[in-house]
Amino acid sequence: MWWVILALALAVIAIKVVGSMIALTIVRVGLLAAVSGSLLLAQIGELSFVLQRSGSEAGLQPAGLGSAGEQVLIAVTVVLMVATPALSAAGQRVGDAVLDVRATRRPSPAQGSSTPQIDHGGGVLVSGWGPVARSVAAMLSTRSVPVTVTTLNPDLAAEAHQVGHEVVRGDPVRENVLVDAGLHSARLVVICENDEIRQLAPDVGIVARPHGVIDPTSWVDTGTDRVVDFHPDPRTACTHVTQAHPALPSSAGCIDCLRSDRRDWVHLRTCLHCGHVGCCDSSPERHARGHADVSGHSIMASAEPTEAWAWCFLDETRIEPR
């Protein structure tokens, strides 16, 4: 009955591939993952033996064929199990073919240009969905910037979808997941988990947020110019200079002004205790002084490139560098 076994095996593959693709598409895992996943799930599986035994004990027979029907069911199951590696490889080939087709449809480099002309007119791709990702996505949404979230966790994916974001479920280090999420048309990629995707998108801006508390002191010797390492003149009369530590600026501009969509500051100051960036007393909002009053962090260094001094808001004293 080889032809019956073969026909039933092909029927099972067709039904399970279609059903799995529909299910995987509903939960938004992405087209490529749905194709490869449905082929990987096409076999009947070991549970069929348990069901066959339970059905036999209840007086049921596969297609009413008695013991012959049971043997056909077992044979179809075994055939599908043996075929699973081939089906998995077929899913991978289909995924690669789709990626190749998408690659050929991307805009080609402009004539005379040595670098690809990447379209960054899309939204922001957020990798992961935790406290940092929620904060970033909420801020972007208030500015009408579309956000696409990638995460493996189904509960977190549902939460992100519930608040109105596009969600692609899958491992955010997989190229097919990132491509489905719009990697190559994204304005920016924000990594809120410990992922490495630079090799997949060398021309897309990436913002990474490390886990845990950042200690700028450990970054001073690395040569980065992002850390403000101010050493006060030991002859200064200010008694609050002990608050001065290497600080990582929280923003490229006055953070409170930027939150209000303002850029009318005159000069910037960086808190040498926590890295908060605020605008000077000559600015309309004077956010640096406001931060010092609220936090008690009195020492703030000038963030202007031509200035190397700091200011103590408690003593109203200018502190020169060592």
223 versus 204: the higher-pLDDT residue is 204
Q: Report pLDDT for 269.
A: 92
**CATH number, residue 309:** 3.30.40.10
Domain boundary among 208, 237, 255: 208
Q: Report pLDDT for 217.
A: 58
Contact 291, 271 (CB under 8 A): yes
Could you give the angle at the alpha carbon of 208 between the alpha carbons of 207 and 213, nearest 5°? 135
Q: Report pLDDT for 112.
A: 43
Domain of 134 in residue numbering reads as 124-208
Q: Report pLDDT for 115.
A: 36
Q: Is residue 117 part of a domain?
A: no
Q: Report pLDDT for 109.
A: 42
Domain boundary among 189, 208, 227: 208
How many domains, the chain?
3
Distance CA 300, CA 313 (A): 8
The residue type found at 72 is V
Q: Report pLDDT for 135.
A: 84
Q: Is residue 43 part of a domain?
A: yes
Same domain, 14 and 62: yes
Give pLDDT tens digits for 106-125.
Answer: 554 444 444 343 343 578 98
Tokens coding 3 = 């032809």
Give pLDDT tens digits for 229-241.
Answer: 888 888 887 888 8
pTM over 0.85: no
Give pLDDT tens digits for 139-183.
Answer: 888 888 889 998 888 888 888 888 888 888 887 777 778 888 888
Average pLDDT score over residue span 190-200: 63
Tokens coding 84 = 């699973």
Domain boundary among 103, 136, 158: 103
Q: Is residue 115 part of a domain?
A: no
Distance CA 156, CA 130 (A): 8
Find, among 281, 57, 59, 24, the residue nearest to 154 by Cα: 24
Same domain, 234 and 268: yes
Give pLDDT tens digits for 250-291.
Answer: 888 898 998 888 889 999 999 988 889 999 999 999 999 999
Q: What are phi and psi of 42, to 5 degrees?
A: -75, -20
Same domain, 233 and 200: no
Same domain, 259 and 282: yes
Same domain, 253 and 302: yes
Average pLDDT, the chain: 79
Same domain, 225 and 142: no
